[in-house]
A = this chain, B = another copy of it.
Amino acid sequence: MSVLVEFAMFPTDQGESVSLYVSRIIKMMDESGFPYQLTPMGTVFETSTMNEALDLLSKAYDCLDSDCNRVYSSVKFDVQKNKNNRMKTKIQSIEQKIGLVKK
């Protein structure tokens, strides 16, 4: 099973710039060992079970809990059985189709 997750999580009580807080979460992601990708709007990662994905979200919140009073998060899940490595294959599938259309 492939569980693809895109999420953003940030405090809303710490002023306009939140990159210091977000960087804690990215550091945790980096150390988790799961494949992930940082985007300008959040982080995409892939696990092989829903519970692994939810556990990473729990750890992400833990990165902010100590000094943030209010935290907002937006998360999307795309769960598909009998697939893996979709971090790469989903983009390739689109790019191939655009290539075909362009020719």
Interface residues of A (CB under 8 A from B): 4-6, 8-10, 12-13, 15-16, 18-20, 22-24, 26-27, 30, 37-42, 44, 46, 50-51, 54, 57-58, 61, 69-82, 86-88, 90-91, 93-95, 97-98, 101-102
In the bound assembly, the distance between CA atoms of A70 and B3 in angstroms comes to 10
Q: Which of B38, B69, B98 is in CB contact (< 8 Å) with A16? A: B69
Known pairs A6-B6, A27-B101 / 8 extra A-B pairs, C-beta < 8 Å: A8-B76, A16-B80, A23-B94, A24-B101, A26-B94, A54-B58, A72-B76, A72-B77
- Counting from the closest, the 10 A-B pairs by CB-CB distance are A6-B41, A23-B97, A13-B16, A73-B77, A71-B79, A54-B54, A75-B75, A19-B93, A40-B90, A70-B80
